[in-house]
Amino acid sequence: MIKKLTFSGFRGQSKSYEFGDANSISGRNGVGKSSIKEAVCITFAGTDSAGNRVPLHLISLDADKLKVEAETNKALLTRTLTKKKNGTLTLEKGEISRTLTAQELENMLCSPELFLSVFVPGAFMRFPAKTKHAVLNSVLTRLDRRALLQEMCGVDLSQHAYEKITYNRRPDLIAMDFAAMRRMKQGHLDHNTGAIAGLKAPARCTEPTIPEECAMLPHLRQEYEAWSRYHVACSLYSERQRAVTAAQEENARRAAAKAQLQKELSEEQLNEVPTELDISGDMAALEAQKKVLPAEPLQLTVVESDHCPACGQVVGEKHREYVREENHKVVEAYKAVCTEVNEHNLQIRFKVDLLKASKEKNQAAVKRVVEKNQQLDLRRARLETKIKDLVDMAVPAGLEEPTRPAYGEVTAELVDKVRNVVKAYEKEKAQFDFYVQQTNEAAEKIGLLEKDSALLTNQINELQHIEDCVKQLPAREFAMREELLTLPGYKFVVDDDISLIDSRGIPYALLSCAEQTAADVMVSLKLNELMPRKVGMIFVDNAELLDGNTKQFIMEECSKQAMQLFFVYVDTAVPDVTVSVL
C-alpha cells in the first residue's frame, strides 16, 4: 500500500500526495489526476499506463529527468528516468538501500503487463491477444497437461516413447508431434509388411545325390600324393647327381688353374740388380791432370819518338822495328802455350763427361731393374692370392635312388576330374544347406516381424487415440478453468482472443462506457484475486460513471482482498487535484 507519493520533473509537475486504504481523487480535467496513475505505473512497472517501456514523454520539457518516490508501508521505492533513456531504481528498507534491476523488481512483484492489468482497469482488454493469454496463464493455476491428457486417453504418457513430447505448447503443435510419431510407426509397419511379403516368396531347391567319385577321391588323393612324392624324390635325386658332377668338374677346373698359376709363379723370377758404378777416383785423377794457363808475358816498350824518354838515347826506326818483332815473338809464344793448355784441359773435360755419362747410364739400368722387380713382386703376390683362393668345393653326398610305387601312376588330370565332380556336389550341397538355413531364418524373422507389426499396430492405434484426445484438450482445459474465471454479471470468452460478454449476452465492445468501466474493474479485481502475489492497488478512472451499488461492491471487494483503492472523479468545480481518504 502506498502511503506517500512524491514526483518531480513529471509532466511539468512536482507534487507530493499522501494516501490511505481507500482514496478519492477529484479535480477538473488537465490538473494532474492521471499523473498520479502514471507515476505509480512507472515506479512499480517501469512503463506508462499504456505499457510503453521507455515513457520519455512523461519527463517535463524543462527538466533533464524525472524522479518518483513511492513510500509504502514496507519500503521506499525511488525511480529516475533521463531523456537519454538512462535511469535507476532504488529500494530503501530501514537503513538498507540497494539498486534494483528491472528483472529483480519483476521477480519481487510481477510482470509489467500483469501489474497494469490489475492497477489500471481496462488495460487488460486493450492488450493484444497474445499478451492477454500470457497474463491469464500467469495468474491461472497451470494445468498438468500430461496428467490431464493421460486421464483423457487412459495411456501412460510417462513412458520412454513419449518423454520427449513438450506439453506446454499449443494443442495443435502437440497433436502434430503425435501425428509425426504415428506416421513414423506407420512407415515401420509398411516396411515390416513388405519385408514379410519378401521373406514369404517361394524358393525351390532339392537336396543333391552323392556321386560315386566322393568315395574314390580319398584313395586317388593318397595314390596321387605317393606318385607326387616319388616324382619329387626323383627330381631331388637328379638335382643331387648334377650337383655332385658339377662340384667334381669345378674342382678339376680349379686344380688345373692352380697348376697353371704355380707354373707362372715359378717362371716369374726376379732380375739381378747391377752394381752401381763408382767414378769418384777417376774424376779426382782427371781433375789433378788439368793444367793452369801461364801468366801473360812482359813486352818491350815501343818508343815512338826519336829520343828514349828513359835514357835519352837517340832511337831510330830500325830499333823500333826490332822491338816490334821481339814483342810479336813473345805474344806468339804465349798464344802457343795457351792453346796447348786449353787443348789438354778440353781432353780432360771430355773424359770427365764420358765418366758422368757412364754413371748416369748405370743408374738408369739399376732403376729399370728395381722397377721391374717391384712389378714382378706385385704379380707374384697376385698369383699367390689366386692360388690361395682356389680351394676345392665341397662335394655333396649322394642320395639313394627312389623306389617306384608298385601300382599304376595316377595323373593330376584324373584327380582334377574326380575333384571337380566332388566340388560340384559340394557346391550344390552348400546351396541346399544355405536354402534350409535361409528358410529357417526367414521363418524366425517373419515371426519377429509379425510380432513387431502387432506391437506397431497397437502403438499406431494408441497414438491415433492420443491425437484425437489432444484435439479435445482446449475444450477440456477451458472447461476446467472456466470456474476460476467466473465474474459477477460477466463471462470470459476464450478463443484466439479473450473477450467478455455480460449476463445479457452483449459483448464487451457493445457495452456502454459505464458498463465497460464496471467490467474493467471486475476483471482487475478477479486478476488480483487469482494472483499468487497480489498487486494490492487499483486506480478506477471515471468513477462518476459507476452507480452506488457497484462502488459499494468494489469497496467491499477491495477490503476483502486488502487492496488500496483509488476512485478518480472529474469535478469541474475543483481547480486542483484533491485527495481525500474515504
Q: Does pLDDT of 67 surpass 90? A: yes
The dihedral built from the CA positions of residue 134, 138, 140 and 145, taken in this order, carries a sign that is: positive
CA–CA dist 2, 20 (Å, integer): 8
Q: In what order do the strands lie in the sheet with 2-10?
A: 13-18, 2-10, 65-72, 76-82, 87-93, 96-99
Say yes or no: 248 and 305 in one domain. no
CA–CA dist 67, 79 (Å, integer): 6
CA–CA dist 93, 416 (Å, integer): 108
The answer to whether the CB of 286 falls within 8 A of the CB of 279 is no
- Percent of the chain predicted with pLDDT > 70: 93
Q: Which of 65, 64, 33, 60 is nearest to 49 (CA)?
A: 33
pLDDT for 308: 62
The answer to whether the CB of 512 falls within 8 A of the CB of 539 is no
pLDDT for 411: 73
The H or E element that residue 107 is part of is helix 102-108
Dihedrals phi, psi of 71, to nearest 5 degrees? -95, 115
Residue 450 inside a domain? The answer is: no
Say yes or no: 329 and 240 in one domain. no
Q: How far is CA 171 from CA 37, 140, 299, 468, in A?
A: 39, 18, 167, 11
The H or E element that residue 65 is part of is strand 65-72
Cell numbers for 333, please give them: 809464344
CA–CA dist 2, 75 (Å, integer): 10
The H or E element that residue 68 is part of is strand 65-72
Residue 40 inside a domain? The answer is: yes
Residue 449 inside a domain? The answer is: no
Residue 535 inside a domain? The answer is: yes
pLDDT range class, residue 203, cuts 50, 70, 90: low
Q: What is the mean pLDDT of residues 494-507?
A: 83
Q: Does pLDDT of 530 surpass 80? A: yes
**Domain of 550, in residue numbers:** 2-139+512-581
pLDDT for 359: 86
Say yes or no: 259 and 303 in one domain. no
| Summary mean pLDDT of the chain | 84
Say yes or no: 131 and 11 in one domain. yes
Q: Are strands 96-99 and 564-570 parallel, antiparallel or unpaired?
A: unpaired
pLDDT for 136: 82
Q: Does pLDDT of 478 surpass 70? A: no
Residue 480 inside a domain? The answer is: no
Q: Which residues of 413-435 are buried (b: 16+ CB within 10 A; e: fewer)?
A: eebeebbebbeebeeeeeeeeee
Q: Does pLDDT of 358 surpass 80? A: yes
Say yes or no: 302 and 361 in one domain. yes
Say yes or no: 119 and 21 in one domain. yes
Say yes or no: 7 and 133 in one domain. yes
Q: 23: which DSSP letter? A: E
CA–CA dist 507, 491 (Å, integer): 10
Least confident of 206-210, 388-392, 429-433: 206-210
Q: Does pLDDT of 492 surpass 90? A: no
Here the CATH number for the domain that contains residue 109 is 3.40.50.300
Q: Does pLDDT of 241 surpass 90? A: no
CA–CA dist 201, 355 (Å, integer): 128
Residues forming beta bridges with residue 215, ordered by sequence position:
none
Q: Does pLDDT of 469 surpass 80? A: yes
pLDDT for 417: 78
Residue 489 inside a domain? The answer is: no
pLDDT range class, residue 174, cuts 50, 70, 90: confident
Q: Does pLDDT of 566 surpass 80? A: yes
pLDDT for 567: 93
Say yes or no: 368 and 401 in one domain. no
Q: How many domains does the chain have?
A: 3
CA–CA dist 147, 486 (Å, integer): 24
- Percent of the chain predicted with pLDDT > 90: 21
**CA 395 to mean position of chain CA atoms:** 69
Q: What is the mean pLDDT of residues 341-354?
A: 88
Q: 73: which DSSP letter? A: S
Q: Does pLDDT of 454 surpass 90? A: yes
Give the pLDDT confidence of 359-404 residue by residue, as tens digits: 888 888 888 888 888 888 888 888 888 888 878 878 788 777 788 7
Q: Does pLDDT of 113 surpass 80? A: yes
What burial class does residue 517 get, using C-beta atoms within 10 Å of its C-beta: 0-12 exposed, 13-18 middle, 19+ buried? buried
Say yes or no: 218 and 290 in one domain. no
Cα 114–118–120 angle (5° rounding)? 110
Residue 447 inside a domain? The answer is: no
Q: How far is CA 5 from CA 8, 12, 114, 210, 566, in A?
A: 11, 16, 21, 112, 13
Say yes or no: 223 and 348 in one domain. no
Say yes or no: 34 and 125 in one domain. yes
Q: Does pLDDT of 143 surpass 70? A: no
Q: Does pLDDT of 419 surpass 70? A: yes
pLDDT for 582: 84
pLDDT for 489: 83
**CA 26 to mean position of chain CA atoms:** 73
Q: Does pLDDT of 568 surpass 90? A: yes
Q: What is the DSSP string of 265-297?
A: HHH-PPPPPPPPP--HHHHHHHHHH---PPPPP
pLDDT for 142: 65
Q: What is the mean pLDDT of residues 57-79?
A: 90
Say yes or no: 23 and 105 in one domain. yes
pLDDT for 212: 67
pLDDT for 215: 66
Three-state SS at 499 = strand
Residue 470 inside a domain? The answer is: no
Enumerate residues 6+ apart whose C-beta is below 8 A from 186. Answer: 456, 460
Least confident of 213-217, 262-266, 502-506: 213-217
The answer to whether the CB of 91 falls within 8 A of the CB of 496 is no
Least confident of 274-288, 361-375, 425-439, 480-494: 480-494
Enumerate residues 6+ apart whose C-beta is below 8 A from 18. Answer: 3, 4, 5, 579
